Copies of this chain bind each other. A is one copy, B any other.
Amino acid sequence: MKPIKVGLLGIGTVGAGTYNVLQRNQEDIRRRAGRGIEIAMVAARNLERARGIVGADCVVVDDPFAVVDSPDIDIVVELIGGYELPRELVLRAIANGKHVVTANKALLAQHGNEIFAAAQEKGVMVAFEAAVAGGVPIIKALREGLTANRIESVAGIINGTTNFILSEMREKGLDFATVLKQAQELGYAEADPTFDIEGVDAAHKLAIMSSIAFGIPVQFEKAHIEGISTLQAVDIRYAEQLGYRIKLLGITRRAQADGVDGIELRVHPTLIPANRLIANVEGAMNAVLVHADAVGSTLYYGKGAGSEPTASAVIADLVDVTRLATVDPYCRVPHLAFQPNEMTDVPVLPMSEIRSSYYLRVYVKDQLGVMADLTRILADAGISIDAVLQKEPGELQTRTDIIIITHQTREKFVDAAIAKIEALEAVERKVTRIRLESLS
Protein backbone atom coordinates (compact mmCIF):
# COMPACT_ATOMS: atom_id res chain seq x y z
CA MET A 1 0.00 0.00 0.00
CA LYS A 2 1.46 3.37 -0.91
CA PRO A 3 2.21 5.86 1.87
CA ILE A 4 -0.41 8.41 2.84
CA LYS A 5 0.65 11.95 1.92
CA VAL A 6 0.60 14.65 4.54
CA GLY A 7 0.85 18.41 4.03
CA LEU A 8 2.14 20.52 6.90
CA LEU A 9 0.96 24.10 7.43
CA GLY A 10 3.69 25.69 9.52
CA ILE A 11 6.97 24.16 10.58
CA GLY A 12 7.77 25.87 13.86
CA THR A 13 8.38 24.01 17.12
CA VAL A 14 5.58 21.47 16.77
CA GLY A 15 5.90 21.15 12.99
CA ALA A 16 9.60 20.40 13.20
CA GLY A 17 8.92 17.93 16.03
CA THR A 18 6.29 16.22 13.89
CA TYR A 19 8.64 15.96 10.95
CA ASN A 20 11.50 14.66 13.08
CA VAL A 21 9.50 12.09 15.04
CA LEU A 22 7.86 10.80 11.85
CA GLN A 23 11.32 10.38 10.33
CA ARG A 24 12.95 8.84 13.37
CA ASN A 25 10.15 6.37 14.16
CA GLN A 26 8.89 5.83 10.60
CA GLU A 27 9.53 2.09 10.80
CA ASP A 28 7.60 1.61 14.08
CA ILE A 29 4.82 3.89 12.87
CA ARG A 30 4.46 1.97 9.60
CA ARG A 31 4.45 -1.32 11.54
CA ARG A 32 1.53 0.03 13.57
CA ALA A 33 -0.42 1.92 10.89
CA GLY A 34 0.05 -0.75 8.24
CA ARG A 35 1.02 1.99 5.81
CA GLY A 36 3.72 4.63 5.60
CA ILE A 37 2.93 8.21 6.59
CA GLU A 38 4.94 10.75 4.64
CA ILE A 39 5.16 14.51 4.87
CA ALA A 40 5.15 15.39 1.19
CA MET A 41 4.65 19.15 1.36
CA VAL A 42 5.28 21.94 3.83
CA ALA A 43 4.09 25.54 3.84
CA ALA A 44 6.40 27.88 5.72
CA ARG A 45 7.03 31.60 5.90
CA ASN A 46 10.77 31.04 6.06
CA LEU A 47 11.56 28.75 3.13
CA GLU A 48 15.25 28.61 3.96
CA ARG A 49 14.63 27.46 7.50
CA ALA A 50 12.01 24.93 6.39
CA ARG A 51 14.37 23.42 3.82
CA GLY A 52 16.93 23.00 6.57
CA ILE A 53 14.50 20.77 8.46
CA VAL A 54 12.85 18.63 5.78
CA GLY A 55 14.39 16.21 3.29
CA ALA A 56 14.88 16.93 -0.42
CA ASP A 57 11.82 14.83 -1.37
CA CYS A 58 9.50 17.19 0.54
CA VAL A 59 8.10 20.16 -1.41
CA VAL A 60 8.44 23.46 0.46
CA VAL A 61 6.12 26.35 -0.47
CA ASP A 62 5.33 29.69 1.07
CA ASP A 63 1.64 29.64 0.18
CA PRO A 64 -0.36 27.47 2.60
CA PHE A 65 -3.26 27.40 0.14
CA ALA A 66 -1.00 25.55 -2.28
CA VAL A 67 -0.92 22.72 0.28
CA VAL A 68 -4.65 22.57 0.99
CA ASP A 69 -5.36 22.72 -2.75
CA SER A 70 -2.76 20.15 -3.78
CA PRO A 71 -4.31 16.99 -5.26
CA ASP A 72 -1.32 15.01 -3.90
CA ILE A 73 -2.15 15.66 -0.26
CA ASP A 74 -4.46 13.33 1.73
CA ILE A 75 -4.19 14.88 5.18
CA VAL A 76 -3.52 18.52 6.10
CA VAL A 77 -1.82 19.21 9.44
CA GLU A 78 -2.56 22.74 10.63
CA LEU A 79 0.10 24.08 12.98
CA ILE A 80 -0.02 27.78 12.20
CA GLY A 81 -1.86 28.98 15.29
CA GLY A 82 -4.25 31.91 15.51
CA TYR A 83 -7.79 32.12 14.25
CA GLU A 84 -8.68 33.53 10.85
CA LEU A 85 -6.07 32.19 8.47
CA PRO A 86 -6.21 28.68 9.97
CA ARG A 87 -10.01 28.77 9.84
CA GLU A 88 -9.93 29.61 6.17
CA LEU A 89 -7.29 26.98 5.44
CA VAL A 90 -8.99 24.23 7.41
CA LEU A 91 -12.39 24.92 5.83
CA ARG A 92 -10.82 24.91 2.36
CA ALA A 93 -8.98 21.65 3.10
CA ILE A 94 -12.29 20.13 4.19
CA ALA A 95 -14.04 21.48 1.09
CA ASN A 96 -11.30 19.81 -0.94
CA GLY A 97 -12.14 16.50 0.75
CA LYS A 98 -8.99 16.32 2.81
CA HIS A 99 -8.74 15.13 6.38
CA VAL A 100 -7.35 17.59 8.89
CA VAL A 101 -5.20 17.23 12.00
CA THR A 102 -4.72 20.31 14.15
CA ALA A 103 -3.08 21.28 17.42
CA ASN A 104 -4.86 24.64 17.39
CA LYS A 105 -7.07 24.91 20.50
CA ALA A 106 -7.80 28.60 19.93
CA LEU A 107 -9.18 27.78 16.48
CA LEU A 108 -11.36 24.93 17.75
CA ALA A 109 -12.55 26.89 20.78
CA GLN A 110 -13.69 29.74 18.53
CA HIS A 111 -14.67 28.02 15.28
CA GLY A 112 -14.92 24.36 16.26
CA ASN A 113 -18.65 24.01 15.75
CA GLU A 114 -18.44 25.44 12.24
CA ILE A 115 -15.40 23.32 11.35
CA PHE A 116 -16.83 20.05 12.68
CA ALA A 117 -20.13 20.66 10.89
CA ALA A 118 -18.30 21.24 7.61
CA ALA A 119 -16.19 18.11 8.12
CA GLN A 120 -19.27 16.08 8.92
CA GLU A 121 -21.02 17.21 5.79
CA LYS A 122 -18.02 16.45 3.62
CA GLY A 123 -17.35 13.11 5.32
CA VAL A 124 -13.80 13.89 6.39
CA MET A 125 -12.10 13.72 9.76
CA VAL A 126 -10.80 16.59 11.88
CA ALA A 127 -8.56 15.20 14.64
CA PHE A 128 -7.21 17.32 17.47
CA GLU A 129 -5.55 15.23 20.20
CA ALA A 130 -2.66 17.72 20.26
CA ALA A 131 -4.99 20.62 21.10
CA VAL A 132 -5.38 19.55 24.73
CA ALA A 133 -2.65 18.48 27.18
CA GLY A 134 0.00 17.97 24.50
CA GLY A 135 1.08 14.36 24.25
CA VAL A 136 -1.34 13.03 26.89
CA PRO A 137 -4.03 11.08 25.01
CA ILE A 138 -6.86 12.72 26.94
CA ILE A 139 -9.12 13.38 23.94
CA LYS A 140 -8.95 9.69 23.07
CA ALA A 141 -9.65 8.73 26.67
CA LEU A 142 -12.71 10.99 26.92
CA ARG A 143 -14.01 10.20 23.45
CA GLU A 144 -13.30 6.48 23.24
CA GLY A 145 -11.94 5.14 26.54
CA LEU A 146 -14.88 6.25 28.70
CA THR A 147 -17.79 5.73 26.29
CA ALA A 148 -19.58 3.52 28.83
CA ASN A 149 -19.90 6.36 31.27
CA ARG A 150 -22.01 9.31 32.11
CA ILE A 151 -19.13 11.71 32.65
CA GLU A 152 -19.77 13.91 35.69
CA SER A 153 -16.80 16.25 35.73
CA VAL A 154 -13.44 17.05 34.19
CA ALA A 155 -10.84 19.04 36.11
CA GLY A 156 -7.45 19.69 34.64
CA ILE A 157 -4.11 21.36 35.00
CA ILE A 158 -3.96 22.11 31.30
CA ASN A 159 -1.55 25.01 31.07
CA GLY A 160 2.07 24.22 31.79
CA THR A 161 3.23 27.84 32.04
CA THR A 162 0.92 28.68 34.91
CA ASN A 163 1.58 25.40 36.68
CA PHE A 164 5.31 26.05 36.45
CA ILE A 165 4.81 29.52 37.91
CA LEU A 166 2.59 28.28 40.74
CA SER A 167 5.04 25.48 41.59
CA GLU A 168 7.91 27.94 41.76
CA MET A 169 5.93 30.45 43.82
CA ARG A 170 5.12 27.76 46.36
CA GLU A 171 8.49 26.04 46.51
CA LYS A 172 10.58 29.19 46.64
CA GLY A 173 8.15 31.55 48.34
CA LEU A 174 8.51 34.06 45.50
CA ASP A 175 5.89 36.42 44.15
CA PHE A 176 4.19 36.17 40.78
CA ALA A 177 6.12 38.88 38.93
CA THR A 178 9.51 37.46 39.92
CA VAL A 179 8.65 33.93 38.87
CA LEU A 180 7.07 35.07 35.61
CA LYS A 181 10.30 36.78 34.69
CA GLN A 182 12.27 33.60 35.44
CA ALA A 183 9.79 31.53 33.45
CA GLN A 184 10.24 33.84 30.49
CA GLU A 185 14.02 33.55 30.72
CA LEU A 186 13.76 29.75 30.87
CA GLY A 187 11.41 29.67 27.88
CA TYR A 188 8.47 28.37 29.95
CA ALA A 189 6.53 31.57 29.33
CA GLU A 190 6.11 33.63 26.16
CA ALA A 191 7.28 37.21 25.80
CA ASP A 192 3.58 38.15 25.86
CA PRO A 193 2.28 35.64 28.40
CA THR A 194 -1.29 37.01 28.59
CA PHE A 195 -3.04 34.00 27.03
CA ASP A 196 -1.39 31.63 29.45
CA ILE A 197 -1.40 33.56 32.70
CA GLU A 198 -4.90 34.97 32.29
CA GLY A 199 -6.33 31.48 31.76
CA VAL A 200 -7.46 31.93 28.15
CA ASP A 201 -5.39 29.03 26.82
CA ALA A 202 -6.73 26.76 29.57
CA ALA A 203 -10.28 27.88 28.78
CA HIS A 204 -9.80 27.02 25.08
CA LYS A 205 -8.80 23.49 26.05
CA LEU A 206 -11.51 23.19 28.69
CA ALA A 207 -14.25 24.21 26.25
CA ILE A 208 -13.15 21.41 23.91
CA MET A 209 -13.10 18.81 26.70
CA SER A 210 -16.47 19.98 27.99
CA SER A 211 -17.99 19.43 24.58
CA ILE A 212 -16.77 15.86 24.19
CA ALA A 213 -17.44 14.95 27.82
CA PHE A 214 -21.08 16.04 27.77
CA GLY A 215 -22.11 15.96 24.12
CA ILE A 216 -22.68 19.70 23.89
CA PRO A 217 -21.37 22.30 21.42
CA VAL A 218 -18.01 23.97 22.06
CA GLN A 219 -18.89 27.04 24.13
CA PHE A 220 -15.67 28.85 24.91
CA GLU A 221 -17.43 32.21 24.88
CA LYS A 222 -19.47 31.19 27.92
CA ALA A 223 -16.50 30.11 30.04
CA HIS A 224 -15.66 32.02 33.21
CA ILE A 225 -11.96 32.80 33.10
CA GLU A 226 -9.66 34.00 35.87
CA GLY A 227 -5.89 33.79 35.62
CA ILE A 228 -3.11 33.78 38.19
CA SER A 229 -1.62 37.24 37.68
CA THR A 230 -3.25 38.68 40.79
CA LEU A 231 -2.53 35.66 42.98
CA GLN A 232 -0.47 36.58 46.00
CA ALA A 233 2.35 34.58 47.58
CA VAL A 234 0.70 35.00 50.98
CA ASP A 235 -2.36 33.04 49.87
CA ILE A 236 -0.22 30.19 48.57
CA ARG A 237 1.46 30.12 52.00
CA TYR A 238 -1.78 30.20 53.98
CA ALA A 239 -3.24 27.51 51.72
CA GLU A 240 -0.25 25.31 52.44
CA GLN A 241 -0.63 25.84 56.20
CA LEU A 242 -4.21 24.67 55.87
CA GLY A 243 -3.20 21.56 53.86
CA TYR A 244 -3.93 22.79 50.33
CA ARG A 245 -2.10 23.59 47.11
CA ILE A 246 -3.22 26.25 44.66
CA LYS A 247 -3.46 25.19 41.01
CA LEU A 248 -4.96 26.87 37.96
CA LEU A 249 -7.72 24.40 37.19
CA GLY A 250 -10.07 24.17 34.28
CA ILE A 251 -13.27 22.69 35.67
CA THR A 252 -16.36 21.56 33.82
CA ARG A 253 -19.11 19.54 35.42
CA ARG A 254 -22.76 18.68 35.33
CA ALA A 255 -24.73 20.75 37.80
CA GLN A 256 -28.18 22.05 38.48
CA ALA A 257 -29.60 25.50 39.17
CA ASP A 258 -33.20 25.84 40.28
CA GLY A 259 -33.77 22.23 39.32
CA VAL A 260 -32.59 22.77 35.72
CA ASP A 261 -29.62 20.82 34.33
CA GLY A 262 -26.63 22.88 33.41
CA ILE A 263 -22.88 22.74 32.89
CA GLU A 264 -20.24 24.56 34.90
CA LEU A 265 -17.39 25.84 32.71
CA ARG A 266 -14.71 27.76 34.55
CA VAL A 267 -10.98 28.39 34.79
CA HIS A 268 -9.55 29.89 37.97
CA PRO A 269 -6.96 29.39 40.71
CA THR A 270 -8.23 26.61 42.95
CA LEU A 271 -7.26 25.22 46.34
CA ILE A 272 -6.91 21.42 46.25
CA PRO A 273 -6.16 19.18 49.27
CA ALA A 274 -2.40 18.58 49.19
CA ASN A 275 -2.79 14.80 49.42
CA ARG A 276 -4.64 14.53 46.08
CA LEU A 277 -2.52 13.14 43.27
CA ILE A 278 -3.36 16.12 41.04
CA ALA A 279 -2.19 18.55 43.73
CA ASN A 280 1.26 17.00 43.34
CA VAL A 281 1.55 17.67 39.61
CA GLU A 282 4.45 20.11 39.55
CA GLY A 283 6.36 22.24 37.09
CA ALA A 284 5.21 22.43 33.48
CA MET A 285 3.39 19.07 33.63
CA ASN A 286 -0.30 18.66 32.84
CA ALA A 287 -2.89 16.36 34.37
CA VAL A 288 -6.59 15.83 33.80
CA LEU A 289 -8.87 14.22 36.37
CA VAL A 290 -12.12 12.79 35.05
CA HIS A 291 -14.97 11.67 37.24
CA ALA A 292 -17.50 9.35 35.64
CA ASP A 293 -20.32 7.20 36.98
CA ALA A 294 -19.05 3.71 36.16
CA VAL A 295 -15.29 4.01 36.26
CA GLY A 296 -15.04 6.53 39.11
CA SER A 297 -12.00 8.83 39.01
CA THR A 298 -9.29 8.41 36.41
CA LEU A 299 -6.30 10.66 35.92
CA TYR A 300 -4.09 11.30 32.89
CA TYR A 301 -0.68 12.92 33.31
CA GLY A 302 2.19 14.02 31.11
CA LYS A 303 3.87 16.83 29.24
CA GLY A 304 1.33 19.34 28.00
CA ALA A 305 3.51 21.21 25.59
CA GLY A 306 6.81 21.14 23.75
CA SER A 307 7.94 20.05 20.35
CA GLU A 308 7.96 16.25 20.53
CA PRO A 309 5.24 15.71 23.16
CA THR A 310 2.84 17.69 20.98
CA ALA A 311 4.14 15.95 17.86
CA SER A 312 3.35 12.65 19.58
CA ALA A 313 -0.33 13.62 19.65
CA VAL A 314 -0.30 14.98 16.08
CA ILE A 315 1.16 11.72 14.78
CA ALA A 316 -1.23 9.56 16.84
CA ASP A 317 -4.01 11.43 15.03
CA LEU A 318 -2.29 10.87 11.69
CA VAL A 319 -2.21 7.13 12.38
CA ASP A 320 -5.89 7.09 13.37
CA VAL A 321 -6.88 9.08 10.29
CA THR A 322 -4.70 6.90 8.04
CA ARG A 323 -6.44 3.76 9.29
CA LEU A 324 -9.94 5.15 8.90
CA ALA A 325 -9.41 7.28 5.80
CA THR A 326 -11.28 4.90 3.51
CA VAL A 327 -14.07 3.66 5.81
CA ASP A 328 -17.66 4.82 5.89
CA PRO A 329 -17.76 8.01 8.02
CA TYR A 330 -20.46 6.38 10.13
CA CYS A 331 -17.91 3.83 11.36
CA ARG A 332 -15.52 6.48 12.62
CA VAL A 333 -15.46 7.97 16.09
CA PRO A 334 -17.56 11.15 15.98
CA HIS A 335 -15.48 14.34 16.13
CA LEU A 336 -17.04 15.45 19.38
CA ALA A 337 -17.56 11.97 20.89
CA PHE A 338 -21.32 11.98 20.31
CA GLN A 339 -22.94 11.49 16.92
CA PRO A 340 -23.52 14.95 15.41
CA ASN A 341 -27.31 14.54 15.40
CA GLU A 342 -27.18 13.50 19.05
CA MET A 343 -25.67 16.63 20.59
CA THR A 344 -27.73 18.33 23.27
CA ASP A 345 -27.82 21.90 24.32
CA VAL A 346 -27.41 21.91 28.07
CA PRO A 347 -26.85 25.54 29.08
CA VAL A 348 -23.66 26.77 30.67
CA LEU A 349 -24.53 28.10 34.12
CA PRO A 350 -23.66 31.67 35.08
CA MET A 351 -20.93 31.85 37.73
CA SER A 352 -23.41 33.01 40.36
CA GLU A 353 -25.04 29.56 40.16
CA ILE A 354 -21.98 27.34 40.47
CA ARG A 355 -21.31 25.35 43.62
CA SER A 356 -17.91 25.39 45.26
CA SER A 357 -16.14 25.73 48.57
CA TYR A 358 -14.22 28.94 49.21
CA TYR A 359 -11.05 30.26 50.74
CA LEU A 360 -11.66 33.80 52.02
CA ARG A 361 -8.90 36.02 53.33
CA VAL A 362 -10.09 39.10 55.17
CA TYR A 363 -7.61 41.75 56.22
CA VAL A 364 -9.08 43.23 59.39
CA LYS A 365 -8.42 45.72 62.15
CA ASP A 366 -7.41 43.69 65.18
CA GLN A 367 -10.37 44.64 67.32
CA LEU A 368 -12.97 42.95 69.48
CA GLY A 369 -15.95 41.42 67.69
CA VAL A 370 -14.56 41.19 64.16
CA MET A 371 -14.59 37.42 64.11
CA ALA A 372 -18.11 37.44 65.49
CA ASP A 373 -19.20 39.79 62.69
CA LEU A 374 -17.62 37.60 60.01
CA THR A 375 -19.09 34.37 61.26
CA ARG A 376 -22.52 35.95 61.71
CA ILE A 377 -22.54 37.23 58.12
CA LEU A 378 -21.61 33.79 56.82
CA ALA A 379 -24.17 32.07 59.04
CA ASP A 380 -26.89 34.48 57.89
CA ALA A 381 -25.99 33.64 54.27
CA GLY A 382 -26.34 29.93 55.04
CA ILE A 383 -22.63 29.32 54.51
CA SER A 384 -21.02 26.90 56.93
CA ILE A 385 -17.40 27.15 57.93
CA ASP A 386 -14.93 24.30 57.56
CA ALA A 387 -11.80 25.92 59.03
CA VAL A 388 -10.55 29.26 60.32
CA LEU A 389 -6.99 30.53 60.58
CA GLN A 390 -6.45 33.78 62.45
CA LYS A 391 -2.96 35.20 62.28
CA GLU A 392 -1.63 37.10 65.30
CA PRO A 393 -0.84 40.65 64.24
CA GLY A 394 2.90 41.36 64.24
CA GLU A 395 4.33 43.63 66.92
CA LEU A 396 3.27 47.27 66.45
CA GLN A 397 0.69 46.10 63.89
CA THR A 398 -3.01 46.73 64.26
CA ARG A 399 -4.16 44.76 61.21
CA THR A 400 -4.17 41.01 60.60
CA ASP A 401 -5.45 38.31 58.26
CA ILE A 402 -8.37 36.05 59.03
CA ILE A 403 -8.65 33.07 56.67
CA ILE A 404 -11.90 31.19 56.42
CA ILE A 405 -12.50 27.96 54.50
CA THR A 406 -16.18 27.38 53.79
CA HIS A 407 -18.08 24.22 53.03
CA GLN A 408 -19.70 23.91 49.63
CA THR A 409 -22.23 26.60 48.77
CA ARG A 410 -23.51 28.54 45.78
CA GLU A 411 -21.34 31.36 44.47
CA LYS A 412 -24.07 33.99 44.69
CA PHE A 413 -24.36 33.47 48.43
CA VAL A 414 -20.63 34.02 48.80
CA ASP A 415 -20.79 37.13 46.60
CA ALA A 416 -23.48 38.55 48.86
CA ALA A 417 -21.59 37.65 52.04
CA ILE A 418 -18.39 39.23 50.72
CA ALA A 419 -20.25 42.46 49.98
CA LYS A 420 -21.45 42.55 53.58
CA ILE A 421 -18.00 41.72 54.94
CA GLU A 422 -16.43 44.48 52.87
CA ALA A 423 -18.97 46.91 54.31
CA LEU A 424 -17.76 46.26 57.88
CA GLU A 425 -15.93 49.13 59.52
CA ALA A 426 -13.07 46.81 60.53
CA VAL A 427 -12.48 45.69 56.93
CA GLU A 428 -10.63 48.18 54.80
CA ARG A 429 -9.56 46.09 51.81
CA LYS A 430 -11.21 43.83 49.28
CA VAL A 431 -11.71 40.27 50.49
CA THR A 432 -9.48 37.73 48.72
CA ARG A 433 -11.64 34.91 47.46
CA ILE A 434 -10.24 31.68 45.94
CA ARG A 435 -12.41 28.71 45.08
CA LEU A 436 -11.67 25.33 46.63
CA GLU A 437 -12.42 21.88 45.21
CA SER A 438 -11.97 18.73 47.26
CA LEU A 439 -11.86 16.57 44.09
CA SER A 440 -12.70 13.53 46.18
Contact = CB atoms under 8 A, between A and B. Distances in A.
Contact of A31 (B17, B29, B215, B330): B215
A313 B144 CA distance: 10
Interface residues of A, number: 66
B21 A147 contact: no
Contact of A148 (B31, B148, B319, B330): B319
A300 B300 contact: yes
Contacts of A368: none
Contacts of A134: 295
Contact of A303 (B31, B293, B295, B301): B295
A301 B299 contact: yes
B29 A147 contact: yes
Interface in A293-338: 293-303, 308-309, 311-316, 319-320, 323-324, 326-328, 330-334, 337-338
Interface string A32-73: 111000000000000000000000000000000000000000
A79 to B, nearest CB: 15
Interface in A127-148: 129, 134-137, 140-141, 144-148
Contact of A25 (B24, B281, B294, B342): B294
Contacts of A135: 294-296, 298
A301 B302 contact: no
B148 A137 contact: no
21 contacts: A24-B150, A34-B342, A134-B295, A135-B294, A135-B295, A137-B298, A144-B316, A145-B316, A147-B315, A148-B315, A293-B308, A295-B302, A295-B312, A295-B313, A296-B308, A296-B309, A297-B302, A297-B303, A301-B301, A323-B333, A326-B331
Interface of A: 17, 21-22, 24-25, 28-34, 129, 134-137, 140-141, 144-150, 215, 277, 280-281, 292-303, 308-309, 311-316, 319-320, 323-324, 326-328, 330-334, 337-339, 342
